């Protein structure tokens, strides 16, 4: 049976220890390393596929794709199901769908890496050092500015769940005052951890020197962050989003950055990835990374260990 993995940008899946789970069961592993935007081209690339493995929500599997692939019998989503598979079409065509579990550790670590890198201006300093320029972060000296340490500043965490709670703990370890906003579940867990819970949303934005979003994306949270929210942030503040780009209303982050509130944004997620990242890549106030939250060896071994276990059970009946 042909097992196809989509969007393996680093070409790493076949090298994972987890890939050995497909040995000896008649599985032909077919790994595609380039994202395919065009639906017709995607259908052509998937012809002959019996088992399809998705890396998170990098590709959408629509009803048209499912209908055009009569040999497709199993779709496995690494991580939790996230709306990128047409489940009704799968049911109608007898395609089994399976998913896995999430890993909060890697995205929490990546979030904190962005907080540190943006606050201390690590990337622009490193880029200019590569060009032979010592201790400068800007091309023009009149634009030069120093980074900021985190100790004594206020970290705002919206949603104190599995990832947000880890980010809050990092902030506390760095000597930051941690303020949490969210629903009652966030209140209970935040107060248990010794953090301040702030129910007033505008006051939450206004107090945060660094504000990190960790909400789930659903109908209630889509575009929940408004221009007014962002412009309430202090001058010199940093907004971090490693959760979902669609939490922020369209266009408002760029508009807010233009006013200096917040002064910076650190982003790992974008609408319409990967093309949507072009709006932010190279922006002088934005540190942008290409959705790396889960992209590290241990998470991949875990994700594909679960995914290929589903494939193995399916093939073996």
pLDDT tens for 198-240 read 999 999 999 999 999 999 999 999 999 999 999 999 999 999 9
SS3 call for 232: coil
- Do residues 84 and 119 share a domain? no
Long-range contacts of 164-169 (CB under 8 A, 24+ apart): 164/212, 164/214, 165/189, 165/190, 165/193, 166/104, 166/105, 166/108, 167/108, 167/111, 167/112, 167/212, 167/214, 168/193, 168/195, 169/193
Q: CB neighbours of 277 closer than 8 A, spacing ≥ 6?
A: 270, 288, 290
CA distance 29 to 16: 12
Residue 42 · residue 68 · CB < 8 Å: no
Mean per-residue pLDDT for 149-170? 99
- Do residues 96 and 124 share a domain? no
Q: CB neighbours of 40 closer than 8 A, spacing ≥ 6?
A: none
Cis peptide upstream of residue 295 (ω within 30 degrees of 0):
no
- Do residues 171 and 216 share a domain? yes
Q: CB neighbours of 133 closer than 8 A, spacing ≥ 6?
A: none
pLDDT band, very low/low/confident/very high, at 83 (cuts 50, 70, 90): confident
Structure tokens at 243: 């959760």
Q: Which domain range does residue 10 map to?
A: 2-101+296-316
For residue 33, which of 59, 51, 61 has the smallest C-alpha distance? 59
Kindly list the distances between the CA atom of residue 223 and the CA atoms of 107, 140, 227, 253, in Å, as whole numbers in the listed order: 21, 36, 10, 11
Among the listed residues 244, 261, 306, 310, the single catalytic one is: 244
Among the listed residues 138, 273, 296, 301, the single catalytic one is: 273
Among the listed residues 56, 181, 291, 310, the single catalytic one is: 291
The chain-wide mean pLDDT, for the chain, equals 97
* Side-by-side strand order, sheet with 96-98: 28-31, 2-5, 51-54, 74-77, 96-98
Q: What is the number of domains present in the chain? A: 2
- Do residues 8 and 152 share a domain? no
- Do residues 109 and 96 share a domain? no
- Do residues 139 and 74 share a domain? no
Please tell me whether the overall predicted TM-score, pTM, comes out greater than 0.85 for this model.
Answer: yes
Tell me if residue 312 is catalytic. no
- Do residues 260 and 143 share a domain? yes
pLDDT band, very low/low/confident/very high, at 276 (cuts 50, 70, 90): very high
**13: pLDDT strictly greater than 90:** yes
- Do residues 239 and 112 share a domain? yes
Neighbours of 263 (CB within 10 A): 20
Tell me if residue 244 is catalytic. yes
- Do residues 8 and 60 share a domain? yes
**169: pLDDT strictly greater than 90:** yes
Structure tokens at 307: 């995914």
- Do residues 127 and 94 share a domain? no
CA distance 248 to 55: 24
- Do residues 221 and 269 share a domain? yes
Q: What's the confidence (pLDDT) of residue 234? A: 98
- Do residues 158 and 97 share a domain? no
Mean per-residue pLDDT for 13-19? 98
CA distance 8 to 287: 24
Mean per-residue pLDDT for 6-33? 98
CATH number of the structural domain spanning residue 19: 3.40.50.720
Structure tokens at 210: 């660094």
């Amino acid at each position: 049976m042909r097992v196809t993995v989509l969007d393996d940008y680093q070409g790493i899946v076949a090298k994972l220890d987890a890939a050995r789970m497909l040995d000896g069961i008649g599985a032909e592993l077919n790994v595609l390393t380039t994202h395919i935007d065009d639906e017709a081209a995607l259908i052509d690339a998937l012809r002959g596929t019996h088992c399809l493995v998705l890396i998170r929500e990098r590709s959408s599997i629509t009803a048209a794709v499912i209908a055009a692939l009569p040999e497709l019998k199993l779709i496995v989503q690494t991580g939790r199901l996230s709306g990128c598979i047409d489940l009704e079409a799968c049911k109608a065509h007898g395609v089994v769908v399976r998913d896995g579990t999430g890993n909060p550790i890697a995205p929490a670590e990546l979030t904190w890496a962005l907080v540190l890198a943006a606050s201390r201006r690590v990337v622009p300093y490193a880029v200019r050092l590569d060009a032979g320029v010592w201790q400068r972060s800007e091309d023009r000296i009149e634009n030069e500015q120093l980074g900021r340490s985190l100790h004594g500043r206020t970290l705002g965490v919206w949603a104190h769940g599995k990832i947000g709670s880890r980010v809050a703990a990092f902030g506390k370890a760095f000597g930051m005052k941690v303020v949490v906003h969210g629903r009652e579940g966030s209140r209970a867990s935040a107060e248990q951890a010794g953090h301040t819970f702030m129910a007033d949303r505008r006051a939450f934005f206004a107090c945060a020197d660094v504000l990190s979003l960790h909400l789930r994306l659903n109908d209630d949270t889509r575009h929940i962050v408004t221009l007014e929210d962002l412009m309430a942030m202090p001058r010199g503040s940093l907004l971090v989003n490693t959760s979902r780009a669609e939490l922020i209303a369209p266009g408002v982050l760029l508009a807010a950055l233009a006013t200096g509130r917040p002064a910076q944004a650190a982003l790992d997620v974008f609408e319409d990835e990967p093309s949507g990242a072009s709006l932010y890549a190279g922006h002088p106030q934005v540190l942008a990374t290409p959705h790396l939250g889960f992209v590290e060896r241990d998470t991949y071994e875990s994700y594909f260990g679960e995914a290929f276990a589903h494939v193995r059970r399916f093939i073996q009946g």
